[in-house]
Structure 1
Amino acid sequence: MTLLSLLALGAVAITPIHLKCEYQIDPLGIDATRPRLSWELEAAGYGAKQTAYQVRVATTPLKLSKPDLWDSLQVTSGETINLEYGGRALSSSERVSWSVRVWDEHGKASPWSPPATWTMGVLSPADWEAKWIAAAGAEKETLELQKVFKVRPGLRRALAHVCGLGQYELAINGDKVGEEAFSPGWTNYRKTCLYDTRDITRQLRRGDNIANLLLGNGMYRVHGGRYTKFTGSFGPLCAIGQIRLEYADGTTDLVGTDETWQCRPGPITFSSVYGGEDYDGRRVGVGDWEPVRIIKGPGGELHGSNRAAPPINAFDLLKPKSSKEISSTTDVYDMGQNASLMPFLVASGPAGSIVRITPAELVKEDGTVDRSSVGGGQAYWQYTLAGKGKESYFPHFFYHGCRYLQVERIAADNGDLPTVQTVEAVVVHSASPAVGTFDCSNQLFNRIHTLVRWAQRSNMVSVLTDCPHRERLGWLEQYHLNGPALRYEFDLARLFEKGMSDMADSQLASGLIPDIAPEYTVFQGGFRDSPEWGSAYVLVPWQQYLWTGDIGLLRRHYDGMKRYVAYLQGKSKNGIVSHGLGDWYDLGPGAPGYAQLTPIPLTATAFFYQDTVILAQVARRLELADDAVRLERQAAEIRSAFNREFYDPTKGYYATGSQTANAIPLVMGLAERENRSSVLGKIVADVRDHGDALTAGDVGYRYLLRALADGDRSDVVFDMNKGDEHPGYGYQLKMGATSLTEAWDAGRSSSQNHFMLGQINEWFYHDLAGIAPSEVGPGFRHIVFHPAVVGDIKWVDATFASVRGMIESHWKVRGKQITYEVLVPPNCTADIYVPSSDAKSVRVVTGSAWATSVAEGVYHVPAGRYVFTADAP
């Protein structure tokens, strides 16, 4: 085929778009010495792909034509993801510009992309011309720090690099810098302290300027007084930061935290990540400034934005759906949605009068809030009025998962009550970009999708929390069991990178990865050491590789992953690992908790096997042949031991025959080929015997979904989730849930906002829509489209913004015909399995010249939009 005929069919030049550095657009505070650069490609027509690229990096956009930092020259490669900067060493706070062009499959060069930028952070401890500062006297509940500094004429740029612990807000001349909340992210502060880089040029003025830092406790310092999950402290409230002032004449001034800063107690009189926040409006701007003292800090290394999760931002504003008067001084507001919330209050009244807002997920029969699902005990926001007319309050350092807000008005000393004008709620969570959309003709499934997504949103902060109220801890099994379900919805590459750093910081000398990271409190037994939880340290970077094509996490954490697998090997006996929590919260005869239906050694050993297999694959990709051979041999030994211990050849199933016991061996490749059919049949029979109901728990449910879908039995998944009579998603909705609950039966004593059982969203995208990554081309370089047409579903629409571009999958059944449409982004290929009742009926309506039939009803295609028709399944 000639070039002219290719162009006639729609092949066109490609253009690089969406330039990113370390997964961020124009980021600030990069302290990786060789930042990684990525881009997507835009093209119309078919077969568009990159065959080469050229990156230019310069100190200013004007110098990109003759770059003074780096010119990669033309590199023959189709890669667009995480290409390392290869120029001269960059300096702290340096801002650079970069641009890229690419060559298409015909050797035609694209135009240069518009310039993008990144700004370096503080690259070494020696570049911090600042000291850790804290209050000179007794520890304060919150702390205000202040520095007056001068700005000379000719200011060109001003950057602030700041870490305030536990949480901080920076203000310049009285105005808060940025919209983020709860900065910096939660870490093990003995190992890692995160700092932010902010451009404050526009907030400065010639002459005197005032920098203020407001500090609150966060996870850094947890104390009692109200409800708390645990107590502990990394030290006093403290901060380190420096403001860099660059002038047009080439000179630079640095304003670092040191002995010249001053401090005083802040207006927040109580600050607890669990118990709430009390703010006294009378104390704003009040109090004598005192000298600070210099301290050593908590000990952790300072790291910038490439090691941090995205910031926490405000999103939806919820107005009350209804309210109920409990007494003359108390009202309960129903915000209509259980979410991670912060209230916005407008009130007026005498000085010293108080408005107290207590959050809860449930209400009692009398209409008052019921805090049983959020840990019980007291937790609230409290605002003391200054008596200055209409006053507004929005919290600084406390959020809470809730639906209901109980608002109490407490009189001042003169007996007068405040008046409440406005009570609204702001949804806060990670600013990880949304990347997926799913919709189908089954409205129950759409409601389930939304139910899960609210729980996902509510638990995305700087760690993936289990719940946004009672615990707020990073329980690690969710990172991998819900990894795909999360990744279809949000761009979580940065959050998962940060999570891996938390795991590494928490790893013990023995190799153990605790069940929570950061490990703020030490639990006992399986709550500290459960293979299904600790295995996240091996499984998360592998998922990151499949979803983004990024091998960096595998390389960076390989030694730690090896140590964890060696730890499990040391705990095993004859190839069997026997400790842990097992299939947590499965549906058995007793109350939910430890596995009831599946032996704990079965799940523990299966994860030991899966970790070993994946580590061997990682070793192969890292070209560590000796490790790979040893691990492959070890995996084979574990597999043999597993089948000897748990498979019953006379019954044709594993262990107790529970859904989890049979699903996990199928999905992990433990089941022998000749036994797979009987094992799958047992799963189907068990679901049917329970009235098309599930019994699998937190650990097993994802594998139940995958075993059925991979075994071409998505019809059974549909039947399990189509109704509301048994504990499950529909049942939770019937019980009034607006976010996914902790227990399948939505029990009132369990959390009403927990995403651990939310793996169904993976099935919506991966199986109903049929969008799947492939090891053949990680990072969706190669895509597998294989939709399941089941039940009464007549159409599905799904989109997914992958790291390589937008992927779409749409199918619709009309009468006896199905129409299936997919979009493959530039630089990618795909295998498309067209659903039909007769593969011979499949027709390529759009893109036929580019679709290669590899089997009946299966096509291999390059980039482009394709439409197929067939006899409906």
Structure 2
Amino acid sequence: MGCRGAKGRGRRRAAVGRESHVQSDLRHRRAPVRLSQRDVRRLPVRDHHRASFAERAHRVARRVAPRRRRRHPQRVRGCHVTPVDQDLSPLTVGASWITSEQWRADPTGGLPVLGTTLRADTPPASAVLRVCGLGVFVASMNGRLVSDDVLEPGYTDYAKRAEYCTYDVTTLVEVGDNVLHIELGPGMYRSQRHDDRWTKILTDYGDLAACASLTLGYPGGQEVIFLSGTDWGATLGQTRSSNWTGGEDFDARVQLDTSASGVRAWPRAVVARTPTELALTPKTTPALRVREVIEPKSITPVAPRTHVVDLGVNVAGWVELDLPPQSEVTLRPAELLKGDGDIDPTTEGWGPVYHTVRTGDRPLTWHPRFCYNGLRYLEVAGLEEPLRPEEVRGLVIAAGARATGEFSCSDQMLNQIHRLVHRAVTSNMYSVFTDCPHREKLAFLEELHLVYPILQWNYDVQALLTNTMLLTREAQGPDGHLPLYVPEWDPFPDPWRGDVNWGGAIIHVPWQLHRSYDDISVLRDNYEAMTRYAEHILLARVDGLVRYGLGDWDGREARAVPLVTTSALARMLCVLSQVAETLGLDSDAARWRKVADDVVERVRDEFWTDDLSVGADTLGETVIALQCGVVPPEHVSLVVNRLEERIARQRFVVDVGEVGMAALVEVLAAHDRHETLYRVACQEELPGYGYMIRHGATSLTETWDGPTFGISQNHFMNGAIDAWFYSHVAGLQQTPTSCGFRDLVVRPRPCGDLRSATASYRTKRGTFSSAWTIEEETFRLEVEVPPGSQCAVETPDGRRRCVGSGKHAFESALR
């Protein structure tokens, strides 16, 4: 749509007359701002400490659209939105769910586009658009996207609830006729297999539909409200099909007239068929945005009319292409290459994943509209000449959560591992944290608490994980059972479904959020679900043991199921006791402590032996038993020594699953075995982080054999070591009883060949940081303590000093 500049999006050639279905220029479009997490927190809230984040978000609606004298909104008949709160859910004022009759007649014949014209006789003082799409929507006003947000609105259990998004579109409304149109894609709301494409989950909750209101505010408190209804137009768009995991088809030759006269000529919309119990709530999580733009590393011919684009790093998002007119291309994403240089798409899904694009008479700038990929490589087939580097861009998409942490040190292997973990976390940070950004894209629960620290250190995850706990409560069965992932659109069979380390997220994650953000409401909101789940697992035991589940899952097989799952139950009950105590429920706390002790004793009776071994005496069983309190206290030191000696004999190669890896890092760090952890991190044999890096991984992989095994190459479940970088190499900690980083500890542990390390964490109070260097035999440390916090600083020589907020410098001997 006109000329494109070069600033901010990498190099581009001029594209006068270029047709762009996405209007995705991140520089030239106006950027109305969606209500953010920060906006919510700044609101004056009565009894603020008792208000949950979701409750505070609901109150935003009152501030954005205060109750005023209104003109009567235009009235439409049809299927109205079910209100959660009539006063706070603005779409309930009369908007209808609508769809296209053409699409309903043939859901494979093109995706629906809904539109209307509206007139503003004078410039409004404000204009607020509220819109929900089932399942993914893109809204435009007068030819401009209403926001830089993408792939909205996010995951929910569509049988129960959907989210609406709120946008300030004041700068987009023009005097005279205006055109609002909404494009729809299926997402996970209507995930169907219409061709050979890979489809992970099959769902069909109803028609692709939208519900919207636009409120124009004028001086004196007058409002004019435009509502979605059957007086809107509805047609089929240029995106012909979309599959959340399988890809899209786009045809620019399809005529789509979005002018005022064109929209008026569209067939009329019809009332959509939607779930009968569907409620509508405001979106409370950070929207997805393009967070990074990557230029391709290379573009290589591999066959006639076929080329492979290498972005140089494994990412999640879109590849945007400038395509010539009258062309037809097929695009296949991949994370790996075969030996001959062709793509190896096996990790994308257990079936074909591809996009097809047809251009018209003009050049076209294109990227997927209603889905995304996890990829490093893109095969482009169908062009006579390869695209030039300036015609290809990798658009990295992730939730707009605030980046909170930075880490670096003098050891390049540790820096590379940190980058692998950070890339995997970012790639899976969408409306929920997914397991991988390609073949599944599901919010599996166990990762959220097993490696919670790596999420917290790198991003502000309060809103994302608070929302995930809401999804988890909504997924809980009448008997207290919890699923493997949420929302549970399509249940997994046993033994996958119901493992304690997966369902236990309902207890662990709220406690972890409370510790990080000093928010007691997340404990109150989830306590009933916690207790119901605990009771369910206790009743599911056979002879006192949990005998089903995945145990120490390693991405391929279940390990040591009864020991791991029952030990995890004991640890979960200990946390539940702490939650009850924090909520002032002393009798509950005592009861859960007693039950936890009984479970520990039962595991000891079954698996502990007098020769200081547990179960089959694997590394994973040993560290999990130590973490969960199964090893009798009088034997802990001996068992830890034995564990460390065994790891050293194995040349620091540790074969553990995701439960065992999180436990290994926690146990060894708690006993100051930092030299061993350093060696485990740096060794390059299989299994290990160094092995992944040696074989070319650019993001953390699902299994230890990384690029040498065809499973996800972008998966954060084994990333626990990153927490050790922050908490022990750099030394950033809070005391065991502190919440919200009020009472801090800086205790750096130089080890291995490290000569320096630095880390910072942006708490809600301010920056908490540590930076140390070793020069000859002198250890120098600089610490920053945020306002309102106090900090105990311990240098490697054992000296401990207490300081207040501000910047401080220390010097000591190494030992």
The bucket for the TM-score relative to the shorter chain is 0.7 to 0.9
- Aligned counterpart, 2:307: 331
State how far apart, in whole Å, the 2-side matches of 1:571 and 1:600 are. 14
2:506 paired with 1:537: yes
Residues 755-794 of structure 1 mapped to structure 2, 5 A cutoff: 755-794=716-755
Q: CA deviation at 1:85?
A: 7.8
Identity level (%)? 31
Q: What is the aligned-residue RMSD (CA, Å)?
A: 2.7
Asked if the contact 1:268/1:277 (under 8 Å) is kept, the reply is: yes
- Aligned counterpart, 2:698: 738
2:368 paired with 1:392: no
* Partner of residue 380 from structure 1, selected from 332, 349, 354: 354
More helix per residue? 2
- Aligned counterpart, 1:504: 473
Asked if the contact 2:89/2:281 (under 8 Å) is kept, the reply is: no
Number of aligned residue pairs: give it.
751
Asked if the contact 1:347/1:418 (under 8 Å) is kept, the reply is: no
Closer, same or farther: CA 825–166 of 1 in aligned 2, 3 Å: same
- Whichever residue aligns with residue 361 of structure 1, its letter is E
Mind listing any 5+ residue stretches in structure 2 that lack a counterpart? 1-31, 68-84
Structure 1 stretch displaced more, 169-178 or 653-662: 653-662
- Aligned counterpart, 2:18: none
State how far apart, in whole Å, the 2-side matches of 1:468 and 1:191 are. 25
State how far apart, in whole Å, the 2-side matches of 1:868 and 1:819 are. 6
Closer, same or farther: CA 725–29 of 1 in aligned 2, 3 Å: closer
- Whichever residue aligns with residue 143 of structure 2, its letter is G
- Aligned counterpart, 2:558: 595
Residues 101-250 of structure 1 mapped to structure 2, 5 A cutoff: 123-124=88-89, 127-136=92-101, 137-140=104-107, 141-224=110-193, 225=195, 226-250=197-221
Asked if the contact 1:574/1:641 (under 8 Å) is kept, the reply is: no
Q: CA deviation at 1:859?
A: 2.2
State how far apart, in whole Å, the 2-side matches of 1:312 and 1:127 are. 25
State how far apart, in whole Å, the 1-side matches of 2:230 and 2:61 are. 30
Q: CA deviation at 1:83?
A: 13
What SS does structure 2 have at the residue aligned with 1:313?
strand
- Aligned counterpart, 1:842: none
State how far apart, in whole Å, the 2-side matches of 1:330 and 1:88 are. 53
Query: Could you give the per-residue CA deviations for residues 158-198 of structure 1, whole angstroms, max 9, x where no partner exists?
Result: 10111011100110011111011100011111122011000
Closer, same or farther: CA 90–182 of 1 in aligned 2, 3 Å: closer
Closer, same or farther: CA 264–541 of 1 in aligned 2, 3 Å: same
- Whichever residue aligns with residue 250 of structure 1, its letter is G
- Aligned counterpart, 1:630: 591
What SS does structure 1 have at the residue aligned with 2:662?
helix
Q: CA deviation at 1:347?
A: 1.7
Q: CA deviation at 1:90?
A: 7.7
- Whichever residue aligns with residue 475 of structure 1, its letter is F
What SS does structure 2 have at the residue aligned with 1:560?
helix
* Partner of residue 454 from structure 2, selected from 463, 466, 485: 485
State how far apart, in whole Å, the 2-side matches of 1:723 and 1:735 are. 13
Asked if the contact 1:169/1:213 (under 8 Å) is kept, the reply is: yes
More strand per residue? 1
Q: CA deviation at 1:477?
A: 0.8
Asked if the contact 1:92/1:121 (under 8 Å) is kept, the reply is: no
Asked if the contact 2:34/2:168 (under 8 Å) is kept, the reply is: no
Mind listing any 5+ residue stretches in structure 1 that lack a counterpart? 1-24, 39-55, 58-69, 97-119, 411-416, 586-591, 840-856
2:667 paired with 1:707: yes
* Partner of residue 294 from structure 1, selected from 264, 271, 278: 271
Q: CA deviation at 1:391?
A: 2.0
Structure 1 stretch displaced more, 274-283 or 623-632: 623-632
TM-score, L = length of structure 2: 0.88
Q: CA deviation at 1:376?
A: 4.1
Q: CA deviation at 1:27?
A: 6.5
Asked if the contact 1:347/1:419 (under 8 Å) is kept, the reply is: no
Q: CA deviation at 1:594?
A: 2.1
Asked if the contact 2:315/2:427 (under 8 Å) is kept, the reply is: yes
Residues 524-563 of structure 1 mapped to structure 2, 5 A cutoff: 524-563=493-532
What SS does structure 2 have at the residue aligned with 1:640?
helix
2:676 paired with 1:716: yes
Q: CA deviation at 1:511?
A: 0.8
What SS does structure 2 have at the residue aligned with 1:741?
coil
Closer, same or farther: CA 459–142 of 1 in aligned 2, 3 Å: same
Closer, same or farther: CA 805–668 of 1 in aligned 2, 3 Å: farther
State how far apart, in whole Å, the 1-side matches of 2:681 and 2:281 are. 44
State how far apart, in whole Å, the 1-side matches of 2:333 and 2:86 are. 39
- Whichever residue aligns with residue 248 of structure 2, its letter is E
Closer, same or farther: CA 828–291 of 1 in aligned 2, 3 Å: same
- Whichever residue aligns with residue 279 of structure 1, its letter is F
* Partner of residue 814 from structure 1, selected from 775, 783, 798: 775
- Whichever residue aligns with residue 872 of structure 1, its letter is L
State how far apart, in whole Å, the 2-side matches of 1:222 and 1:127 are. 27
* Partner of residue 363 from structure 1, selected from 319, 337, 342: 337
What SS does structure 2 have at the residue aligned with 1:666?
helix
Asked if the contact 1:506/1:513 (under 8 Å) is kept, the reply is: yes
What SS does structure 1 have at the residue aligned with 2:94?
coil
Query: Could you give the per-residue CA deviations for residues 284-314 of structure 1, whole angstroms, max 9, x where no partner exists?
Result: 41596222222353333211133xx211111
Q: CA deviation at 1:496?
A: 0.6
State how far apart, in whole Å, the 1-side matches of 2:40 and 2:173 are. 32
Closer, same or farther: CA 764–266 of 1 in aligned 2, 3 Å: same
Structure 1 stretch displaced more, 669-678 or 749-758: 669-678
- Aligned counterpart, 2:809: 867
Closer, same or farther: CA 27–630 of 1 in aligned 2, 3 Å: farther
Structure 1 stretch displaced more, 232-241 or 721-730: 721-730
Which segments of structure 1 move beyond 6 Å, counting only runs of 4 or more? Answer: 79-90
- Aligned counterpart, 2:233: 262
State how far apart, in whole Å, the 2-side matches of 1:632 and 1:535 are. 16
State how far apart, in whole Å, the 1-side matches of 2:52 and 2:495 are. 39
What SS does structure 2 have at the residue aligned with 1:219?
coil
Closer, same or farther: CA 380–625 of 1 in aligned 2, 3 Å: same
Query: Could you give the per-residue CA deviations for residues 86-119 of structure 1, whole angstroms, max 9, x where no partner exists?
Result: 99998474369xxxxxxxxxxxxxxxxxxxxxxx
State how far apart, in whole Å, the 1-side matches of 2:278 and 2:569 are. 32
